[in-house]
A and B are shown apart, each in its own frame.
Chain A
Amino acid sequence: DVEMTQSPFSLPVTLGQPASISCRSSQSLVSSDGNTYLNWLHQRPGQSPRRLILRVSERDFGVPDRISGSGSGTDFTLKISRVEAEDVGIYYCMQGTHWPRTFGQGTKVEIK
């Protein structure tokens, strides 16, 4: 199975400041079709997860452009340019290239 490793585990941030989360996979996530199926999801307390980013860097509908994804192969990053109160919660990376699908362990973002 592909192991997804996120860091940090916890990320205290100041409103208006940037934040960055790393995700590393134990195998390349480049698919045989040439796409890299790396997703980022956000889960607010008491809510279902919501996908923010697909295929490394494509934002889902309604996701603000202050949230961005980057990376390739096995190393990926989610960045928030200016953290807002609505950004608190847990962020997960998830790979959709290999079976079984696997998630990172999550990064908890909270306001300082």
Chain B
Amino acid sequence: EVQLVESGGGLVQPGGSLRLSCSASGFTFSSYYMNWVRQAPGKGLEWVSSISETGYGLYYGDSVKGRFTISRDNAKDSLYLQMSSLTAEDTAVYYCTRGWSGPDYWGQGTLVTVSS
């Protein structure tokens, strides 16, 4: 069974940093693009970032470019999102998802709240 389990969310002050993690199981992690998608409270879905199977292909949404860094460790079946210079607009549930052209599996999400 495919499982994606996010962790690392929490309350952070504006301007602060946070690192999200996603632990994957039930499939060959190194064979899939992985993504982060977020959803602000009561709002729609926003694609954040994607990383290729090898980690060499990196893609970012305009709203996070230069502030967020996606990475992966295929030996640990794990996906990461390093977030810095956080603002209130980054407050959202962050989902770890699998797939290149359309996420077929989603984690349960981890809530990031940016507030003083």
Contact = CB atoms under 8 A, between A and B. Distances in A.
Interface residues of A, number: 26
Interface string A88-101: 00101010110111
Contacts of A100: 47, 59-62
A48 B100 contact: no
Interface stretch (B19-27, B71-79, B82-90, B105-113): B105-113
Nearest to A6: B44
Determine the main DSSP class of B at the interface with A. loop
B11 interface: no
B9 to A, nearest CB: 14
B104 interface: yes
Determine the main DSSP class of A at the interface with B. loop
Interface string A69-105: 0000000000000000000001010101101111111
A90 B99 CA distance: 21
A48 B95 CA distance: 8
Contacts of A51: 102-104
